Amino acid sequence: MRVLLAMAALALVAAAPPARPLAVTLPDAEGLLPERYGVSADAANNNCLACHSAAMITAQPRLTRVQWGETIAKMRTVYGAPIDPADDKAILDWLVAD
């Protein structure tokens, strides 16, 4: 009897469809930040979109260059964002472009 149960269990396992790897699709909600008034968004795209959506960034209130600089420093020191310091000027230029 145990042999028959074991054979039945093996038959069920063999008949089961093969397991597929879990597929995860990340949304590409709105893509990249656009050039702003002739100022390239490359540095902001390369550094900021790792954690923030383009919509979230563009919905922020207007801040001064000093305020945005403090925000970038906070992202780097408090939150551990891997923002390349060499990109700070280009990010600030884009954030305050008008």
For the chain (98 residues), the mean pLDDT of every run of 10, in chain order, is: 63 62 56 93 95 92 97 95 96 95
Instruction: Count structural domains, the chain.
Output: 1
Domain of residue 66, CATH code = 1.10.760.10
Whether residue 4 lies inside any domain: the answer is no
- What is this structure's pTM? 0.68
Query: Does residue 68 lie within any of the structural domains?
Result: yes
Q: Which CA distances in Å does 34 have to 28, 42, 78, 98?
A: 15, 9, 27, 13
- pLDDT at 12 (0 to 100): 61
At residue 14, φ and ψ (nearest 5 deg) are: -65, -30
Domain of residue 61 covers 33-98
Position 83 in a domain: yes
Residue 95 maps to a domain: yes
Nearest C-alpha neighbor of 32 from the set 43, 18, 21: 43
